Structure 1
Amino acid sequence: MEELLDLIMRAFAYMDGVIDPPSSAHRLTVENLREKCAAEIAFVALEGERLVGCVFLAERTDHFYLGKLAVDPSYQGRGTGRLLLKAAEEAAVAGGKPRIELQTRVELTANQTAFAQMGFVETGRSAHAGFDRPTSITMRKALA
């Protein structure tokens, strides 16, 4: 769990000082990450024995919510994120859900573009508590 938490924190570090409010990754601990792994479907990507990526799927009524997609910064651009997304999509289809949903931050335009290129479309915007402007973008992908 320590290695998984470290991976997420390194992968999300670029958001520090860019997004407001700060990423929920900062609230993760070994204990609540262990609980997340028990409550959701977790996928990891390994290079040999090294943990280089992860993603979580949480079941909802009509879809799966995809969260904490993280790839070690030194492995980004090698297709690891796409492989993790593919595994998540296959699990969602096997689980009988026709859609995957995620949220990305308004400030992270490169993430929005990347998710759009992978078939996600924006379905809404929302504000974190205490904000009078949208802070998150909800995106969904229909699955075959």
Structure 2
Amino acid sequence: MRPKKTILCVDDNEQTLSVRKFMLETRGYRVLTAINGQEAITLFSSRQVDLVLTDLGLPQMDGNALIGHLKEISPEVPMILTSDTVRAGERPHRADAFLSKGCCSPAELVERIRVMSARKRGPRKATVPALRSLAADTLVTRAS
């Protein structure tokens, strides 16, 4: 059995957060929740997170600033920014995807999460044995 993906959901609206948590847990995800940026940074720093889903309109630190902090910690983790007041393209952001809350259905949100959590962003790190094997193959090819 494959391990469950862990999603960090951040929203200051506890009802929205509760609905998202239920929706994602019933589809097999582990869900961590935070109601502000500082709480999200603490969770992200202490746990293995496969994807971040955050609202833009957070108190003290907006979702875009939060993503900036989280990308400094782990840039390969995909992050989705949502908003019910800003449309895609109206403001620059650091997220891997931007979704307007009213524009996509729960099924579309879940599908976007499934696709984005299936792979991490950024270059894959080569292991030392893999590098040694590559070097050995290169030497054999050049000697031939």
TM-score between the two structures when normalised by the length of structure 1: 0.35
| Structure with greater Cα Rg | 2
Q: Which has the higher strand share?
A: 1
In proportion to residue count, which structure has more helix? 2
